[in-house]
Amino acid sequence: MQTVMRLLVTSVLFGGGAAGIYGQAPAPAPEKLTLKRAVALAVENSRDLKYARAQQEVAERSAGLRRSVFLPNLYTGSDLAYSKGFPLGVPQIFNLSYQQWIFDMPRRGEWKAAEARAQVQRLETDRVRDDVILRTASAFLELAKVRGSLDLIRKERESARRVTGVTSDRSREGLELPIEVTRAELSAARLTQRMVQLESRQEILEAQLRNLLGYPSGQAIDLESESLPPSQEQPSTELVALAMENSLEIRQAENERRAREEKWKGEKGGYWPTLEIVGQYGVFSKSNNYDDFYRTFERNNVTVGLRARIPIYSSTRAATVNLARSELSSAEVDVQRKRETVEASVREQNRRARELEAGREVARLELKLAQDNLRVLQARFEEGRANLRDLEKARIEEGDKWRAFLDADFDSQKAQLELLRTTGQLARVFQ
């Protein structure tokens, strides 16, 4: 009994409680997420991506349905009928029929157009995947930035409180004007306001990231702080060439143009004859009275041949062809418009990425300067040549520069992500 009590007390003192005695394992620590792991989880669990894949399968099945008329089609069945007098129907105990289109340009055009649109849907799946990657990476990097800023601002707030206390003491001693106390209090209040804003943003980002990763509500998210791998600076001409080759928007527009071109070719081919293979085998029933009305009656009957249909006049054919040609012209214009839009977007994103990278370098040097200034003041304070208020103000300034650098670094990385997406390189970064 004493042994059991000692075990119970030890378990409670060291945080295990009764759960350790009864063999219940403590809750597992949350997985420490890297950026690459977060993206992989989001791609695996995204409902938007699953829906896009389902739509892709529908498009592929639809193309297969259009193609099926050009493949062998075999049917069987039987008839049941009552006949008296001369047989008007052809009731059969068993029948077997075969049908396969060999040449039908409108149907072929629909089949090829459906295949091209299935490719459009496959590219749409890739577009949704890139969108999931971009949203996940952006939320991950911003959450890491917000958490880092919160750590800094909490330290700044403590420094601001010390500055307020020193200023209040000096004001009571007549060494500072009351307005200086108000300035110090305002500075501390602004930091508190900023901290509350950052905490709200942190909650929003955590909820977004949980939703993207497929985590249950309330699950903690532990991030492995990291940045995007550095990218080599490329001239705009190379980036534009990459975008022209890899842009999902351009490739989708080109496949839609190809679908409409196939449709137009098929409709034009409607002026030509159609040709199909047909075959039929049937076993007639004697109940149809054929053996009474015909001197020779053969129960087993076979018909095999080609069926051709030659169009002579169709009032809708010319209108259908003209409509298909107009749709093709619209698609060709859309391809050119997409190319121009993507080219302009790549050039603008490249300029913005370079500007933000330059801003990041400025923020880094300003941070370095603030850190050097803090070290100088720290040394002077230890020597008695600087006061506590100046030292705490230097710490606040260093925290401000740290947060400015984190903001600039995040903006630069987000611009890099958007440029990678436009040039079709985003998925490769996280492979």
State the SS3 of the chain: CHHHHHHHHHHHHCCCHHHHHCCCCCCCCCCEECHHHHHHHHHHHCHHHHHHHHHHHHHHHHHHHHHHHHCCEEEEECCCCCCCCCCCCCCEEEEEEEEEEEECHHHHHHHHHHHHHHHHHHHHHHHHHHHHHHHHHHHHHHHHHHHHHHHHHHHHHHHHHHHHHHHHHHHHCCCCCHHHHHHHHHHHHHHHHHHHHHHHHHHHHHHHHHHHHCCCCCCCCEECCCCCCCCCCCCHHHHHHHHHHHCHHHHHHHHHHHHHHHHHHHHHHHHCCEEEEEEEEEEECHHHCHHHHCCCCCCEEEEEEEEEECCCCCCCHHHHHHHHHHHHHHHHHHHHHHHHHHHHHHHHHHHHHHHHHHHHHHHHHHHHHHHHHHHHHHHHHHCCCCCHHHHHHHHHHHHHHHHHHHHHHHHHHHHHHHHHHHCCCHHHHCC
Tens of pLDDT along the chain (431 residues) come to 333 333 333 333 333 443 343 344 444 556 688 889 999 999 999 999 999 999 999 999 999 988 888 888 888 877 666 666 656 666 677 788 888 888 888 888 888 999 999 999 999 999 999 999 999 999 999 999 999 999 988 988 888 888 888 888 888 888 778 888 888 889 889 889 999 999 999 999 999 999 998 888 888 888 887 777 777 778 888 889 988 988 889 999 999 999 999 888 888 888 888 888 888 877 777 666 666 766 676 767 777 777 777 777 777 888 888 888 998 999 999 999 999 999 999 999 999 999 999 999 999 999 999 999 989 888 888 888 888 878 888 888 988 999 999 999 999 999 999 999 998 888 888 87
Separation between Cα atoms, residue 247 and residue 254, nearest integer Å: 11
Instruction: Burial-class residue 416 by CB neighbours within 10 Å (0-12, 13-18, 19+).
Output: buried
Q: The domain 31-71+104-272+311-429: what is its CATH number?
A: 1.20.1600.10
pTM of the model: 0.79
Q: How many CB atoms lie within 10 A of CB 28?
A: 6
Q: Strands 274-284 and 92-103: what pairing?
A: antiparallel
